[in-house]
Amino acid sequence: MRKTKVFESVVEKFHQHLGSLPDNRSGKNKHYRVADAAMSAFGVFFTQAPSFLAYQRKMAEQKGKSNSQSLFGVHEIPSDNQIRNLLDRVPPNALFPMFEEIWQVLEEEEQLEQFRDVKQTLLVAVDGTEYFSSEKIHCEQCSTRAQKSGKMRYFHSVVTPVVVSPNQPHALPLVPEFVTPQDGHDKQDCEIAAAKRWLDTHDERLRQWKVTLLGDDLYCRQPLCEQLVEAELHFIFVCRPNSHATLYEHLDGIDLPTLTTTVNRGRKGNTWRYRYLNDVPLRDGDDALGVNWCELSVRQPDGSVSYCNSFATTYRLDDDNVADIVRAGRTRWKVENENNNTLKTKGYHLEHNFGHGQQHLSSLLATLNILSLLFHTLLDLLERNYKLLRDHLPTRQTFFDDLRALTRYMYFDSWNHLLAFMLDGLELQPFDDTT
């Protein structure tokens, strides 16, 4: 694949899959295509412009063509209400093959190798996040939570697995798993149930990739850990004393193996102390799963402790690898900082109610939003003109501000035309797309 043709190639593959989306309309009025509705919504998330479609409709009226057509292949833009109605009946898993298309490109271009870390495995951080909450708006797919006021809170949440690396700024979203009401009404139980479903669905692929799963203390429970061991997958989970009393009882009174290093921060150094112990029970009982435990505490020159955390893992620990295991375990924060928070606070507006629907609309739009972040990351990794442009703009916000303004007022016959125009404005020489 030519590095500067990534956008067009992926959009073309998107259309191939979108053409097979279910169309459950029973009437004769099928003027607008479901594929156009899905790609129109995707254009909103990709450009981070909630009013993108309104401007493109106006451009189509005035010029007979629009950027939604040239960039995203939308034949005719449905109205916002039509988009919501068309997509409400489409389950989010109908879009999952689009994730596979991007991941296939990443594998073909050998991009995953730079993300490998402990024992040459891919680190997959897993976390749950809410993306919709209301006391009034709800659907059959909503989870519920009783509030102190007596009112019911309706919400949607999703488990968002992400490939991360301590050496890479990017986080690569995998197929999400949506929490559904039948999982129960306790948030933690719901999240774990969804994580288990995700593992059941994707364990074969995860074994092929040689994955190490990362997660917070919520995931460090025997049923999930046993499922990972049975699937021949490794894990590094946060393991806190208040939720693992039996494990920490086995640490009492033992002269734990300890590794101490000094990490310089300016003129003075911080003391990093690693402690660990192999073969400790994860819980009480004869059937307790044996895990390996480690801890990092960081002490400032004045004696104060600035960081302390502990982990349970399947990796056997020693002085040579404990620092690497802890470093990998701490990387789980990237699922929040580089994925969930990016989707919520960096222009993707994951928590904004673009449309709730009565069946699948809310989760489908969230899937398109996550997909748009993965697509941008793919472009940053592979498309040279895109990366050149992003590297020379002061902030990511500047890029999206410019993208919104340009696509509002000007027509571009292709993605490369748009990038070339932006690069020319910065007096940067674009890469030749024929090389």
Q: What sign does the CA torsion over 161, 308, 168, 343 have? A: positive
- Based on the fold, state whether residues 139 and 233 are members of the same structural domain: yes
- Based on the fold, state whether residues 163 and 280 are members of the same structural domain: yes
Please check whether residue 105 is in contact with residue 6, taking contact to mean a CB–CB distance below 8 angstroms.
yes
- The C-alpha R_g of the chain, in whole angstroms, comes to 24
pLDDT tens string 198-207: 999 999 999 9
Residue 259, SS3 per DSSP: strand
- Based on the fold, state whether residues 107 and 9 are members of the same structural domain: no
- Based on the fold, state whether residues 85 and 100 are members of the same structural domain: no
- Based on the fold, state whether residues 283 and 404 are members of the same structural domain: no
Per-residue pLDDT band at 1 (split at 50, 70, 90): very low
Cα 11 to Cα 379: distance, rounded to the nearest angstrom: 12
One DSSP character per residue, 310-349 reads: EEEESSPP-TTTHHHHHHHHHGGGHIIIIIIHHHHHSSS-
- Based on the fold, state whether residues 10 and 155 are members of the same structural domain: no
- Out of 314, 341, 368, pick the residue that ends a domain: 341
Cα 190 to Cα 177: distance, rounded to the nearest angstrom: 11
- Based on the fold, state whether residues 240 and 303 are members of the same structural domain: yes
Q: What is the DSSP letter of 175?
A: -
Pairing of strands 258-265, 177-178: unpaired
Q: What's the whole-model pTM score? A: 0.92
* Other CB atoms within 10 Å distance of the CB of residue 249: 13
- Based on the fold, state whether residues 218 and 264 are members of the same structural domain: yes
299 in a structural domain:
yes
400 in a structural domain:
yes
- Based on the fold, state whether residues 103 and 82 are members of the same structural domain: no
268 in a structural domain:
yes
361 in a structural domain:
no
- Based on the fold, state whether residues 33 and 101 are members of the same structural domain: no
376 in a structural domain:
no
- Based on the fold, state whether residues 83 and 119 are members of the same structural domain: no
Of 328, 330, 332, 334, the residue nearest 117 (C-alpha): 328
| Amino acid, res. 255 | D
Whether the pLDDT of residue 2 is over 70: the answer is: no
- Out of 308, 325, 341, pick the residue that ends a domain: 341
- Of 3-12, 119-128, 284-293, 368-377, the poorest mean pLDDT is in 3-12
CATH number at residue 255: 3.90.350.10
Residues paired with residue 145 on neighbouring β-strands, in sequence order: 153
pLDDT tens string 383-435: 999 999 999 998 889 999 999 999 999 999 999 999 999 999 999 998 875 54
- Based on the fold, state whether residues 86 and 13 are members of the same structural domain: yes
High-pLDDT (> 90) share of the chain, %: 78
8 in a structural domain:
yes
Structure confidence at residue 297 (pLDDT) = 96
174 in a structural domain:
yes
Task: Supply 359's token pair.
Answer: 């069946």
Number of folded domains in the chain? 2
- Of 137-141, 153-157, 310-314, 343-347, the poorest mean pLDDT is in 343-347
Enclosing domain of residue 33? 3-90+383-425
